[in-house]
């Protein structure tokens, strides 16, 4: 399948001389949700702005729907909806006018029924006649999403879409993003909420110092890099780990009532049976045992730390 976005050897050096993107190569598949993760200043917004044609790449090529974003700018930009990280709104316009106007900017005929559906899906319908200045931060961000969707784009960029949005509405937004994906829209989002990527992304890219250090299917990523923990609820509190078990990656938690063993699922031997033998030999009794898989957050933190 032809990628909907193809990024080839893209570099961005700002006029200050700062290299914000370093040889980026990435193919985005149609109708996937791609989450771009990375610490502050990693280059996420720069990459998105470059694909959208807001800033020019210093070198390299980007195609959207098979067309070059420079020579075919009108076509490629028309396919894209962008929710920028920075909220820039016309404070004194109403929600309805702002969103309808955005649609017009892309040369699309008015479609009040579509605007109504979009505002409803973002829980903004009751605010349609309010001026933007009268809205809360989370509401403004949702207006930005409505604006980005107003011309029915086939690709949607969401740069920190849920920053400042409360937990419940965030879940509604995830639902909306999934629905858009199911309708065939390709979604690229950045987020600092790792559970957001874990929840909705099909693929994950990690960017650091302008370099894409990892691109992986989410499920595969979590399986490959996933560390597992074996959690033992002890009958008697343990004050210290017996020296015979010093070689195991063990931690005592919960006032000594929990013993936690971290192991790598990719190792041939997890060491669990040997650990249990040691526990029995040391007369450490447990009443319950469970396992826990590391989250994407753990994976992300260790990845970003490792590559410094």
What track of x and - describes contact with ligand ATP for positions 29 through 68 (by CB under 6 A)? ---------x-xxxxxxx----------------------
| Residue with token string 């960017």 | 207
Terminal C-alpha separation, the chain: 35
Q: Is residue 122 within 8 Å of 177, Cβ to Cβ?
A: no
Structure token pair of residue 169: 């509405």
Q: Looking at beta carbons, which residue is closest to Mg ion?
A: 45
When the beta carbons of 12 and 203 are compared against ligand ATP, the nearer one is: 12
When the beta carbons of 203 and 208 are compared against ligand ATP, the nearer one is: 208
CA distances from 84 to 160, 163, 183, 223 (A): 8, 11, 22, 32
Interaction between residue 20 and ligand ATP (CB under 6 A): yes
**Residue 101 contacts which entry, Mg ion, ligand ATP, none (Cβ below 5-8 A, type-dependent):** none
Interaction between residue 26 and ligand ATP (CB under 6 A): no
What track of x and - describes contact with ligand ATP for positions 67 through 96 (by CB under 6 A)? ------------------x-----------
Residues that bind Mg ion (CB under 5 A): 44-45, 85
Q: Is residue 108 within 8 Å of 151, Cβ to Cβ?
A: yes
What is d(CA 201, CA 86) in angstroms, rounded to the nearest whole number? 22
Interaction between residue 18 and ligand ATP (CB under 6 A): yes
What is d(CA 303, CA 105) in angstroms, rounded to the nearest whole number? 42
When the beta carbons of 122 and 212 are compared against ligand ATP, the nearer one is: 212
When the beta carbons of 14 and 101 are compared against ligand ATP, the nearer one is: 14
When the beta carbons of 45 and 118 are compared against ligand ATP, the nearer one is: 45
**Residue 92 contacts which entry, Mg ion, ligand ATP, none (Cβ below 5-8 A, type-dependent):** none
209: left (phi over 0), alpha (psi -120 to 50) or beta: left
List alpha helices for 52-136, DSSP H: 73-78, 95-105, 112-121
Contacts with ligand ATP by CB under 6 A lie at 14, 16, 18, 20, 38, 40-46, 85
């Amino acid at each position: 399948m032809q990628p909907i976005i193809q990024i080839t050897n893209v570099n961005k050096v700002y006029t200050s001389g700062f290299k914000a993107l370093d040889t980026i190569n990435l193919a985005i598949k149609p109708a996937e949700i791609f989450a771009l993760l990375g610490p502050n200043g990693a280059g996420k917004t720069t990459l998105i702005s470059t694909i959208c044609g807001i800033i020019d790449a210093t070198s390299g090529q980007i195609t959207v729907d098979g067309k070059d974003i420079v020579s075919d700018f009108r076509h490629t930009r028309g396919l894209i909806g962008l929710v920028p990280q920075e909220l820039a709104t016309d404070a004194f316009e109403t929600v309805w006018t702002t969103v309808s106007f955005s649609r017009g900017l892309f040369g699309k005929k008015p479609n009040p029924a579509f605007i109504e559906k979009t505002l409803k899906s973002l829980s903004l319908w009751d605010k349609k006649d309010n001026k933007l200045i009268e809205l809360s931060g989370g509401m403004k961000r949702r207006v930005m999403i409505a604006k980005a969707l107003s011309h029915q784009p086939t690709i949607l960029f969401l740069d920190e879409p849920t920053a400042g949005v409360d937990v419940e509405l965030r879940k509604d937004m995830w639902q909306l993003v999934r629905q858009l994906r199911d309708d065939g829209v390709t979604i690229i989002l950045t987020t600092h909420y790792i559970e957001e990527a874990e929840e909705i992304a099909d693929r994950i890219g990690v960017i650091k110092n302008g370099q894409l250090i990892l691109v992986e299917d989410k499920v595969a990523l979590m399986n490959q890099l996933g560390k597992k923990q074996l959690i033992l609820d002890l009958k008697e509190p343990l004050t210290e780990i017996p020296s015979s078990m010093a070689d195991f990656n063990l931690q005592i938690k919960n006032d000594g009532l929990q013993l936690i063993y971290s192991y790598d699922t990719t190792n041939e031997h997890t060491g669990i049976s040997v650990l249990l033998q040691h526990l029995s030999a040391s007369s450490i009794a447990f009443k319950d045992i469970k396992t826990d898989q590391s989250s994407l957050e753990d994976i992300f933190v260790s990845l970003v730390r490792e590559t410094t």
